[in-house]
Structure 1
Amino acid sequence: MSLNALSNATAGLAATQAAINVVSQNVANAGTAGYVKRTLSSVATGTNNLGVASGAVTRSFDAAALKQLRLETSGAAYTSTKSGIISQLDALYGTPGSSTALDGTLNTFTESLQELAANPTSAAARTTVLSNASALASQINGAANSVQNLRTGIEAQLGADTQSASSLLSSIADLNKKIQNTTDSTSLADLQDQRDQAINNLSSYMDVKTTAQSDGTVTVLTQSGATLVDRGNAASLSFDGRGTLSANSSYSATPRSVGTITATLPGGGKIDLGEPGVLRSGSLAAEFELRDQTLPQAQRQLDDLAAGLASSLTDKQVTATQATQNTGTATATIDLTGFQAGNTLTIPANANSTGRNIILVASNNTSPITASQTVDPNALVAKIQLPVDQTQIDKALKLIDPNLSASGSGATLTITSAAGVPPVAATARITVPTSADPTSGYPQIPLFVDSAGNALYTGSLDSGSQLTGFAQRITVNGNLSGKPAALTATSATDMTASGARAQQLFSALTSTQQTFSAASGIGGVSAPHSTTVIGFAQDIISTQGAASANATALDDTQQTALSTAQGRFAAGAGVNIDQEMSNLIALQTAYGANARVLTAARDMLNQLLQI
C-alpha cells in the first residue's frame, strides 16, 4: 500500500473530526440568539490532490435576508412605539357616546343649560350648570395634563434609548477592532455573530445600513447617510433631556425647550439626530415624532376646544357692510368697537389679490407673530396695535396687498379695494365682556376663564400665546360662585330670572359655528375647520379613534412583515437539527472509512514484518 494512502487517511480523519466539531457546535447553539450556522469546507493539498485539509469555518446566511430583517426590525419598533402611545391618547377621551367620555360630559353640560333655560328660577338648576361646567373643565384639564405627561415620559425614554444605542455603537466598533486582528476562523465567526446581533439590536432604535470593508470591518450609517461607526471608531450619543415638558416645550422654540440627540464623531464633529428627517424609523424616530408632532397636535386640539368653549360664550362675529363706490372701487365698512388683544379682523382670500386670507390680530405690543398662532396657518398675518388706529391698519394692509387701503374714524373702519379686484369683505371676532365680571358684556358671559388670574380669555398673543396650554388652565369663572343668578339675569343690571341668557349659551355651544385652526389636524391640514363646539369635541374623539385604529392596523401589518423577515433569515442562517443529524451520519461514515484504511495498512505492515 502506498504511503500516500496512510497520509490521506490520517488527513481525512483530522478533517472529518474538525467537521464533526462544527456540527456539534451548530447543534449545541441551535437555540442561541444571534448564532449563525457554521459550515467547514475541505481543501485538497499536495500534488494531484493527494491530500486533504480543513478549510475555514464560514457562516451560512443570506445577506439580502439580513438586510431586510434589519429594515423590518426598525419598522416594527417604529410602529409599535407609535401604536402604544396613540392608543393611550385615544383612551384619554373615553368611549365615544358614554356619559364619562369627553363628548358625554359636554353633552351633560349643555343639557343642564337647556334645563336652566326652562327653569330659570331654580337655584338647583343654576348650581347644576356650574357643577357640570366645572366637571367639563376638569376633564379637559386632565386630558391635557395627561398629554404632557406622555410627552414627559417620552422625553425620559429618549434618554434611556439614546444611552442604549450609544453603548451598541461602541460595542460594534470594539468588535470591528477584534475582527481586524483575528485570524482563527472559528473565533472570527463568533465575533461576526456578536457584531451582527449588536447591529440588529441597534436597528430597533434607528434605521441603519452597513457597508462591508475589505479588512472585515463594517461601516454603520443611518438611512439618511449619517456615519455612526467607521471601522474601529464610533460616534458617541448624548441626550440633553429637559425633564418635565409643558405645552410651550418644542424643538423649534428659541432656545430649544426639549431634548435632542447629539452624535459626537471621533473627529469632533457633531450631528443633531433629533433634526427632522435624520432618523426615519426605529423607536427613536417614533419617539421624536410623538413628542414633537403627534402629542403637540393633540394638545392643540384640546387647546382649541377649550378656547372655543370659552370664546363661544363671550365673542361675537361682526360682518362688514359691502358697497361699490361711483369710482368703481369696492368698500367694506366694519365696526370694531370693543376690539381687545387677540381679537381678529379677517379679509378672505376671495376679497384680496393675494389669494390667501389676511388676518389682522389686535395687540397691546408690537412683538412679531406667525400664521401658526392663528386659526389659519396659511394666512398672511399682521399685528395691529390697540387702540384701533386706521392709519396703522392702512399701512399693514398695503404691505400685504397694495390694492387694499383703510380709512375711517374712531372704531369704524372702511376697507377699500382698488378697481379691478374682487369686492372686498371682512369679518371680525370681538370679545364682548371687558373683564371676568359676569355682568359685563350681556348677553355674552365669561363662564369659562383662564385660571391664571381668573382672566378673561381673548386669545391674546401678548406675552406669549394665551391659547397655548389653555386646556390646562381653563376653569369656571370664580366670580360666578358668588353670583350664580347672573346665569339667568334679564340684563346686565336686572338680576330678575329669565331663561334667555341660558338659552343663548346653549345655542352658542350647539348651533353657532366656530372656526377652529387647521393646526389641530381636524377637517384638513390647509384650511380652518368650521363646526360647533359640540361638533368639534366629537371630531376630536373620532379623529383620535381613527388614528388609534390606523396605528394598530399598521403595527399589526409591520409585525407580520417582521415575522416573515425573521423566518426568511432563519431559514438560511438557523440551525436545522435534522439536517445536522444527516450531516453527522455522513461524517461518521467518512470517519469510519478513513479509519478502515488505516486498519488495512496496519494489517499489511504486520504481515510484512512476519515474513
Structure 2
Amino acid sequence: MSMSSALNNAVTGLTANARMTEVVSSNLSNALTDGYGRRGVELSSVQVGDRGGGVRVDSITRFVDAGLLADRRLADAALSGQDRSAEFVSRLEQVIGGPDDAAGLGARLAEFERALIAAGSDPASELRLAAVVSRLEGVTGTLQSNSSSIQSLRQDADATIARDIDTLNSALRQVDALNTDILRLSGSGDDPSALLDARQRAVDQIAGIVPIREIPRDNGSIGLMTTSGTPLLDSAPREFGFQRTPTITADMTLASGALGAITLDGEVLDPANGIGRLDGGSLGAAFALRDQTLVEAQGALDEIAADLIARFQDVANDPSLAPGDLGLLTDQGNPMDVSDLPGLAGRIAVNSAVIAAEGGDSALLRDGLNAVVAGPAGDATQINRWIAALDTPRTDVPGATTASASGRIAAYVSEIGTTRLLAEEQLSFTTARWETLREAELADGVDTDVELQKLLQIEQAYAANAKVVQTIDAMMQRLMEL
C-alpha cells in the first residue's frame, strides 16, 4: 500500500471519527430530552482504484420504534382524557361536599330539621321560629351555590375545549411546516433528525387531544388521522373551529343550539354530539363533562330542589294551603312548574311570607302559610307537620324515590363520591398502562453507558488514525532529507 493510500485511509477515518463523536455527544446531551430519537452513524468502506480507499459516512440514522410510539400515543389520549375527567369530577365532589361536610347540603338540611324540632318544643318563641327561616335559607342558599358551581364547571369544560382546538390547529400547522422542511433537507442530503424530533413532539401534543395514527409519506413526511378515520393532515392541515360560550346556564344545551360544537373547515362536524369522531382524548372528555356528566349532576340537584318544594306546598302538610298556592319554598317566588326543572336548584327560594326582612311573619310557620288568624301560640301541630314532611317519601315529582329528603340528598352525595372513585380507579389503570409503554419507549432510547463505551472506542480509533497520519508525516520528512 502506498503512503498516499494509507494517508487517505487515515484522513477519512479521522473524518468519520469526528462525525461519530458529534453524534454520540448529541445522544449523551439529549438523553433526557423529551421526543429525542437516538442517532447512529452508518458507515461504509470506499475503494478508489489502486490507491486504496477509506471509510465514508453514508447517513445519520434516527432510531424510533414506530409501533411502540403509536401505542404510547394512544395511551396518551386515554390518559389525558381520563385525567381531565377525574380532575373535574373531583372538583364537583368538592363543590357538593362529602357526607361529613359541615357546609354541605345534607348538613344544612339537618340544621333546618333541628331548628324545626327546637321550634316545636317552644312554638311561641319568635327567636326559634326565626331560626327555622334562617336554616331554611341556608338550605336554599346551598342549593343555589351548588347549582352555580356546577355551571361554572361546565364553563371551564367549555373553555378547555376552546384551548384544545387552538392547540390542535397550531400543532397541525407546525407538523405541516416541519414536513416541508424535512422534505427539503432530505432532498439536499442533509440530516433532518433535529426536525424529526421537533415533529415528534408536535405530534405527541396532538395525541393527547385526540387519538391519532401517523401515516408515513414519501421522503420522511407524514400524514395524520384519528383512529376513527377523520383526516387531520394530508396535503394540508385541516382547520377546526369552536365558539366558546362565556356564560352557561342550566337550561343551555348543545341540542338547543345554545352551546358550541366543533366545526371542520367551517362546517359543524356532528350536530348531535358536537365532536364527531374526535372522541377519545382530552377533547372528548371535555365534551362529555360539559354535555353529560355535569348536566346529569345538575339534573339530580334540580330534582332534589323539586322534591323539597313539593314537600312544603302539599296541602296535606299545610291544610291552610289550597292546590296551586305557594308553599314554604318557591321557584323565585312562583309556583313550581315540573315541566321547567332545569336550573330549579339555582332558583329555589324561601317564601317571602315568612321572611321578616321582606315584610313576612315567621309565625306563619306555626299557624300555616295562608292562616287568616293567628292560632294558639303554644300549638306545635303545624311545625310537626313540617317535620313529618321531611320524612315522607314522595312519588309525585321527577326522579322521586321512597327516601326521605335527607336520604335523597345522602344518595346524591354518595353517587357523586362513587363517580369520583370510579374516575380515579380508571385514571390509575390508564396511568399504569401509559407508564409501562413510556418505560419501554425510553428503554429503546439513549443508553448513556453504551454511548460512553462507543466514545471510548471512537477515541481509540481516532488515536490510531492520528498515529498513522503522524507516522506518514515523519516518513515524508525523512524522505525529503535524503
Q: Give me the TM-score of the superposition, normalised by structure 2.
A: 0.89
Corresponding residue for 2:199? Answer: 195
1:557 aligned to 421, 425, 429, which one?
Answer: 429
Corresponding residue for 1:37? Answer: 38
Alignment of 1:454-473 (within 5 A): 454-459=333-338, 461=339, 465=340, 467-473=341-347
Structure 1 residues 553 and 515, CA gap change in structure 2 (3 angstroms)? farther
Residue type of the partner of 2:347? R
1:71-93 Cα deviation digits (max 9, x unpaired): 22222211221122111110122
Q: Secondary structure at the match of 1:220?
A: strand
Structure with the bigger percentage of helix: 2
1:294-346 Cα deviation digits (max 9, x unpaired): 111111111011000001222479xxxxxxxxxxxxxxxxxxxxxxxxxxxxx
Structure 1 residues 190 and 300, CA gap change in structure 2 (3 angstroms)? same
Q: Secondary structure at the match of 2:177?
A: helix
Corresponding residue for 2:305? Answer: 306
Alignment of 1:429-440 (within 5 A): 439-440=320-321
Aligned-pair identity (%) = 26
Corresponding residue for 1:80? Answer: 83
Corresponding residue for 2:17? Answer: 16
Corresponding residue for 1:585? Answer: 456
Structure-2 separation of matches of 1:495 and 1:442: 22
Stretch deviating more after TM superposition (490-499 or 219-228): 490-499
Structure 1 residues 514 and 115, CA gap change in structure 2 (3 angstroms)? farther
Q: Secondary structure at the match of 1:57?
A: strand
Unaligned runs of 5+ in 2: none
Structure-2 separation of matches of 1:53 and 1:279: 48
Corresponding residue for 2:218? Answer: 214
Structure-2 separation of matches of 1:271 and 1:131: 50
Q: Give me the TM-score of the superposition, normalised by structure 1.
A: 0.71
Any conservation in 2 of the 1:223–1:280 contact (CA below 8 Å)? no
1:175 aligned to 169, 173, 178, which one?
Answer: 178
Please state if 1:596 is matched with 2:467.
Answer: yes
Q: Secondary structure at the match of 1:250?
A: coil
Corresponding residue for 1:576? Answer: 447
- Could you tell me how far 1:285 is from its partner in structure 2? 1.5
- Could you tell me how far 1:101 is from its partner in structure 2? 1.9
- Could you tell me how far 1:57 is from its partner in structure 2? 0.7
Any conservation in 1 of the 2:165–2:242 contact (CA below 8 Å)? yes
Alignment of 1:177-576 (within 5 A): 177-183=180-186, 187-231=191-235, 233-253=236-256, 256-264=257-265, 271-272=269-270, 275=274, 278-315=277-314, 439-441=320-322, 446-451=327-332, 454-459=333-338, 461=339, 465=340, 467-481=341-355, 482-489=360-367, 492-493=371-372, 495-497=374-376, 498-514=379-395, 517=398, 529-573=401-445, 575-576=446-447
Residue type of the partner of 2:384? Q
Residue type of the partner of 1:153? D
Residue type of the partner of 1:579? V
Structure-2 separation of matches of 1:177 and 1:8: 38
Structure 1 residues 92 and 212, CA gap change in structure 2 (3 angstroms)? same
Residue type of the partner of 2:413? I
- Could you tell me how far 1:136 is from its partner in structure 2? 0.5
Greater relative CO (CA pairs within 8 A, separation 6+): 2
Any conservation in 1 of the 2:230–2:278 contact (CA below 8 Å)? no
Structure with the bigger percentage of strand: 1
- Could you tell me how far 1:509 is from its partner in structure 2? 1.4
Please state if 1:70 is matched with 2:73.
Answer: yes
Structure 1 residues 164 and 443, CA gap change in structure 2 (3 angstroms)? closer
- Could you tell me how far 1:235 is from its partner in structure 2? 1.1
Structure 1 residues 251 and 586, CA gap change in structure 2 (3 angstroms)? same
Structure-2 separation of matches of 1:115 and 1:442: 29
Structure-1 separation of matches of 2:308 and 2:53: 93
Stretch deviating more after TM superposition (600-609 or 544-553): 600-609
